[in-house]
Amino acid sequence: MRNFKPDATGPLEGLRILDMTRVVAGNELTVILADFGADVIKIETPGKGDDLRNWKTEGISTHWKVYSRNKRSLTLNLRNDKAKEIFVKLVESADAVVENYRPGTMEKMGFGPDRLHEINPKVVLVRISGWGQDGMYQHKPGFGTLIEAMSGFAASNGFEDRPPVLPAFAMADMIAGLTGASAILAAIRHVEVNGGKGQVIDLPLFDPLFSIQGPLAANYKVTGKVPPRMGSRFTMAAPRNTYQCEDGKWVALSASTQGMWEQFARSIGQEELIEDARFKTNSDRLKNVDELDEIVGGFMKTHGREYILDHFDKAGITVGPVSDIEDLMDHPYIKDREIIVEVPDEELGTLPMHTVTARLSETPGEFRRPAPKLGEHNAEILGEFGVNGDELADLEKDGVI
């Protein structure tokens, strides 16, 4: 079991991030920073909190526990003038503010970019939205599902004779969070190293998801064609697909170089395929991919998955299992690399979650605290600004916190 280390530090120690977001994208962004030592303060509505707390599996807020680890929770009713005074003090002490309100909301609250930079000229403001802070869709609802549909992803995902397929997880949000983590550090570096001013990062969900689809627009310009859904095939190389083995389990193959294809043909005892006009070059194989998949799939079905994996591993062929989470929980690779770690949990005793994903040799990320209860750190955080005792009690009584 991986224990929490409350006193652990990291390369981002000394940075303070005010996280005003709800649900996925912002929490993904800030958990990356928190894992590496940043002081991430979740600013939440009293009595309600981040909606991610309500994403429950069998009554357990697993999303919250995983994506709010290493953070502190402060409840603050920003409709209250006293709460706004506290927020000003927080901004004065912060390196960045992350929000995902509908565009214009921060301005209505009295904390648009100009006001934040008046309070703290060096603060970085990250604004997460569906479609961006300007343009024709700026006020359109921005849930990730809409972005995954409109970005071109769903249209290319699935099989040609079946409906488009949306991802089974919050992919647009997660990719925006990953993108935002690097952007916020670039902006903070500009302040700290270049002596620059704080700036605004416009981070829509749409742009990062569109960007990871590669040369989608360039390919359309060149071909004039909308690529069909291809299932698990790949437009640029063949064979590449998933194949069912004799025991009903599945493997994935990617023989995406000429050398790998030729080695594959030898490994299945069909060396004649190398000179077969249908499969001689990658272009030939793409043109005759249905026939190629019949040959590859036919071999896979002659043996169980363990045999297939062992056979191709010895031959140096890129074939791997299609694993579900049950497979992964006890997989030796996962255990060897500690990709899933068990951490202490009040409700469950321990809870498995992904480890810190980037592994720094000198200043690794750590598990410093579990995801906070709503308002758990009110006294601790406000105490840093001299608020305690009766004054703290009055703030709670008056609905400020």
Q: Which amino acid is at 72?
A: R
Catalytic, 134? Answer no
Residue count of the chain, please give it: 401
Structure tokens at 242: 């998933």
Crossing angle, helix 305-315 and helix 258-267, to 10 degrees?
120
Measured over all CA atoms, what is the biggest interatomic distance in the chain, rounded to whole angstroms?
86
Distance (Å, rounded) from C-alpha 319 to C-alpha 90? Answer: 52
Choosing from 173, 313, 394, 398, the catalytic residue is 173
Are residues 99 and 42 in contact, defined by beta-carbon separation less than 8 angstroms?
Answer: no
Residue positions annotated with a catalytic role: 173
